[in-house]
Chains A and B, each alone.
Chain A
């Protein structure tokens, strides 16, 4: 799975990570999308939970799940009306994604990292702040980073992702080995 932010450039809210959920966030931080698969009946749990909703077993194994899917619905969030941590991130595309194995996962759809760029921290990684396009690992787009966004007349970035659009899971490096799930257009993953 591609990473879309060099460490330290993630700008969303910090995940609440506790011992029982930690493997999910650490897995993402290492580029793996893993969820709990029930040791008894095989049901994959979403959301993360201490118990299987199907058979009530408490036992599970963190297991890789499908990383490709199609858009169920995508919207452009234009204004941060709640947590103001998002005020410098809007507009962004938020989506529900129907994964190939039947799960439906939430996440932002972000511009893809350039496939030619190496892992964060290596020579090719972007440094500094602000949007990076075309070269280097993409950081998160900031305000005004989309062209033609005059107030009230902005094009709709989510319009590029109608229902059925194929996407691939990716992750944002939130630091401390923690990753946050997001998606990129499939053709660029």
Chain B
């Protein structure tokens, strides 16, 4: 297999008409809306799309077979991954590889979430957070280990946050600052589910405690909605409707015993991981993109829980070990901050779309389409997760 020497761009983005907790629409319908919106955004025809990728299920979505057949797509490249946010990088990178390898010219990446309390009421066998990984001897897909009393990703991550707070002296006010920052960003995003619900130090204290140091608002939302991104080669992108955004750099999830998920970072001594002073590995994503960390104009993090931000800031070297809460207090997370983070509001305030809505937002920021929440002169945007995977998108 040889790869063509071409860059790959995001040429279209779209979402379902609404994001929400109970939209009254099937996952299939939501995904059709997102796909058609992205197609219109790109200026391409349906027949141009010859590749399709999805991270199926959140907890239920639309698998590649039902979507290609009902949408009437004719695809020669298909990818289907687990639903969780740690696959957003991989699914996007694989789609870019497919274009570089000539396996497809135009790939649509579409993902949909529907909740058990929303449209899931009408669907059989849907419920809770259950995933196939929950059957593993090594526990569930997010570090939860139900039999042993770590019943959800939330309780697993609350153990991580408790350990971090014990070790570095971080406080409940530090945790609150993460959610409040993302909520302020959401107020400028008309699609954000919590756009009209400000989070203040006072209202934070009123939120119910769910597990350990986590209140309800320290968790991502569990919601319905769909996203779609359309990718094509730089040559193809040049003639399309919108200013292309280049997929400039990528690095994968790190996978070893020190990186078993649990929404942590190495060195913290959680899960099977070691307990040691932490220094980040070099992040090749910057070299591949031809930029440095200081060039990043806006950062997009997988914020399934508030403490994820601390892990990501330290893992990618934006600050030193244990310094993330102070970094957040000093710099802020808002659009006017030195480094704005999750300008869309993130999973905690816009809605949980496993990272794909972050990629939609990054594309729109790099096109300059974000109105009141536009980061002035945004040219480099980074996606990053606690597990070390990352994408850098740049304005072409």
Check A75/B213 contact, CB under 8 A, given A46-B272, A81-B152, A96-B270: yes
Q: Which of B130, B147, B158 has the most CB of A within 10 A?
A: B147
Q: Does A106 contact B (CB under 8 A)?
A: yes
- Cα distance A180–B145 in the bound complex, in angstroms: 12
Q: A73 contacts which chain B residues (CB < 8 A)?
A: 159-160, 162-163, 166, 212, 270
Annotate A64-104 by CB proximity to B: 1 below 8 A, 0 otherwise. Answer: 00000000111111111111101000001011101000001
Q: B210 contacts which chain A residues (CB < 8 A)?
A: 77-79, 81
Q: Does B128 contact A (CB under 8 A)?
A: yes
Determine if A83 and B163 form an interchain contact, defined as CB atoms under 8 angstroms apart: no
| A65 CB → nearest B CB, Å | 15
Q: Residue on A with the closest CB to B205? A: A152
Annotate B117-151 by CB proximity to A: 1 below 8 A, 0 otherwise. Answer: 00000000000111000010111000011111111
Stretch at the interface among A13-21, A55-63, A119-127, A131-139: A13-21
Q: Residue on B with the closest CB to A109? A: B149
Check A81/B154 contact, CB under 8 A, given A72-B163, A106-B148, A107-B148: yes
Q: A80 contacts which chain B residues (CB < 8 A)?
A: 151
| B96 CB → nearest A CB, Å | 32
Q: Does B209 contact A (CB under 8 A)?
A: yes
Determine if B162 and A75 form an interchain contact, defined as CB atoms under 8 angstroms apart: yes
Q: Does B280 contact A (CB under 8 A)?
A: no
Contact among B128, B155, B158 with A84 in the assembled complex (CB-CB below 8 Å): B128
- Cα distance A144–B233 in the bound complex, in angstroms: 61
- Cα distance A82–B115 in the bound complex, in angstroms: 12
Q: Does B24 contact A (CB under 8 A)?
A: no
Q: Does B238 contact A (CB under 8 A)?
A: no
| A147 CB → nearest B CB, Å | 18
- Cα distance A69–B212 in the bound complex, in angstroms: 21
Q: Does A108 contact B (CB under 8 A)?
A: yes
Q: Does A182 contact B (CB under 8 A)?
A: yes
Determine if A75 and B155 form an interchain contact, defined as CB atoms under 8 angstroms apart: yes
Determine if B257 and A77 form an interchain contact, defined as CB atoms under 8 angstroms apart: no
- Cα distance A106–B137 in the bound complex, in angstroms: 13
Q: Residue on A with the closest CB to B147? A: A15
Give residues 151-202 of B contacting A (CB, 8 Å): 151-155, 158-160, 162-163, 166
Give residues 187-241 of B contacting A (CB, 8 Å): 208-213, 219
| B54 CB → nearest A CB, Å | 24
| A49 CB → nearest B CB, Å | 7
Check A92/B163 contact, CB under 8 A, given A47-B137, A78-B211: no
- Cα distance A75–B149 in the bound complex, in angstroms: 11
| A45 CB → nearest B CB, Å | 10
Closest A-B pairs by Cβ, 7 of them:
A75-B212, A108-B149, A82-B152, A106-B148, A73-B163, A82-B129, A94-B149
Given A47-B137, A77-B155, 8 new contacts (CB under 8 A): A75-B213, A82-B130, A83-B130, A95-B149, A106-B149, A108-B149, A180-B148, A182-B148
B interface residues (Cβ-Cβ under 8 A, vs A): 128-130, 135, 137-139, 144-155, 158-160, 162-163, 166, 208-213, 219, 257, 269-272
> What are some 17 contacts across the A-B interface (CB < 8 A)?
A47-B272, A48-B137, A73-B212, A75-B158, A75-B212, A76-B209, A77-B149, A79-B211, A81-B151, A82-B129, A84-B128, A94-B148, A95-B159, A106-B139, A106-B148, A106-B150, A108-B148
